[in-house]
Each structure stands twice: as structure tokens, then as C-alpha cells.
């Protein structure tokens, strides 16, 4: 891998981030908590006031469409996991990642993750990208460059899902 490849990955990330920012800007808590169907992945407030996300036991279409709250939780979940397992102590688990509870909280959380990730991309060396040393979640035994590419793809996918759900919310009946 050369600096050129790292630069491609960084530019691809910037494009994915621009799309994500576009769909997070102006997002309201009401939109987040709206459910596009009776079935689908969502978040639920626990008695202690925290917001826990559903976790599917399978990934079939009949589980229903996810709420924006769940989609934003999922984005924060996987990004937190990648950062913790690649650059932290590797102890973070899904059960410890809560949804912030508001659209403002979502923007703040995701923005912090983006800032941390951007700092990682600026520090990563060619050797880091070729090495599997930091590759612990969601991939193993692959070059860290594969994780960087996966983050770009996953971020783009989540942005598209959030955007599509926002379109549905904007034209909902009633």
C-alpha cells in the first residue's frame, strides 16, 4: 500500500461523511422515534432512562424496516466498536452501546466518532494498513486497510438508509 491508497481511502471516507452529514442535518428526535411499520428494529427506553436497541437474531426482510433511531444507533455501535477494538482496550460490547435519546445527542455522538476516526486516518501508516495487528472487529486476520474500506462502505450504507427513512417520514400519511 502506498500513500496514494491511503489518500483514496481518506477521500472515499470524506465523501461518505458528507452524505452522512447531509442526512443528519436537521434530523429531529420525532423523526428518529417514528416507526415506518409496526414491525422493525427500534430502540426502547429502559426504566433507568437509557435507550437500548433491538438486536436481530437474523437478517431477513420480514423483520421489517428499521427506525431512524435504530439506524443511528447501529452507525454509532459499529463505529464505536471499530475504534475501541482497533485503538482501545477491545472490551466494548453491543450491550454497552446505548442510543443517545435525542437527535441532537445522535449528531454529537456521531460527530465525535467521525473526529476520532479522522484522527486515526491521519495517523495510520502504510505499514498499519498492510498489517492485521489492529484488525480485531468486525474483521480478523485481514489488513487494517480492509477495515478502513469497510468503514467507508458501512457509513455510506447507513447514510443511505437514514436518508431513505427520512424521505418516508417526510411523506407519511397523516
pLDDT tens readout for residues 45-104: 999 999 999 999 999 999 999 999 999 999 999 999 999 999 999 999 999 999 999 999
pLDDT tens readout for residues 145-173: 999 999 999 999 999 999 999 999 999 97
Average pLDDT over residues 124-129: 89
pLDDT tens readout for residues 20-49: 999 999 999 999 999 999 999 999 999 999
Residue corresponding to grid cell 455510506? 156
In 37-143, where does DSSP find H-type helix?
68-87, 103-123, 126-130
Residue 123, SS3 per DSSP = helix
Residue ranges per structural domain of the chain: 3-55+62-170
Distance of CA 106 to the CA centre of its chain: 11
Q: Does domain 3-55+62-170 have CATH number 1.20.120?
A: yes
User: Higher model confidence: residue 96 or residue 123?
Assistant: 96
Task: Say if residue 103 is exposed, middle or buried (CB neighbours under 10 Å; 0-12, 13-18, 19+).
Answer: buried
Name the pLDDT band for 3 (thresholds 50, 70, 90). confident
Longest dimension (CA), the chain: 55
Q: Are 148 and 62 in contact (CB under 8 A)?
A: no
pLDDT the model gives residue 4:
81
Name the pLDDT band for 5 (thresholds 50, 70, 90). confident
What does pTM read for this prediction?
A: 0.95
Q: Is the pLDDT of residue 2 over 90?
A: no
Amino acid at each position: 500500500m502506498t500513500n496514494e491508497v491511503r489518500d483514496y481511502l481518506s477521500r472515499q471516507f470524506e465523501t461518505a461523511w458528507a452524505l452522512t452529514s447531509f442526512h443528519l442535518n436537521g434530523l429531529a428526535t420525532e423523526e428518529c422515534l417514528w416507526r415506518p411499520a409496526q414491525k422493525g428494529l427500534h430502540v426502547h427506553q429502559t426504566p433507568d432512562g437509557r435507550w437500548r436497541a433491538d438486536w436481530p437474531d437474523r437478517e431477513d426482510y420480514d423483520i421489517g424496516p428499521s427506525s431512524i433511531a435504530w439506524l443511528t444507533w447501529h452507525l454509532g455501535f459499529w463505529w464505536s466498536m471499530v475504534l475501541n477494538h482497533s485503538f482501545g482496550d477491545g472490551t466494548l460490547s453491543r450491550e454497552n452501546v446505548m442510543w443517545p435519546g435525542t437527535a441532537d445527542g445522535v449528531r454529537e455522538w456521531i460527530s465525535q466518532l467521525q473526529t476520532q476516526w479522522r484522527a486515526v486516518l491521519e495517523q495510520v501508516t502504510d505499514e498499519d494498513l498492510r498489517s492485521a495487528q489492529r484488525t480485531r472487529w468486525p474483521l480478523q486476520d485481514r489488513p487494517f486497510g480492509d477495515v478502513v474500506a469497510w468503514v467507508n462502505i458501512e457509513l455510506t450504507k447507513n447514510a443511505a438508509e437514514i436518508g431513505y427513512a427520512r424521505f418516508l417520514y417526510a411523506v407519511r400519511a397523516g
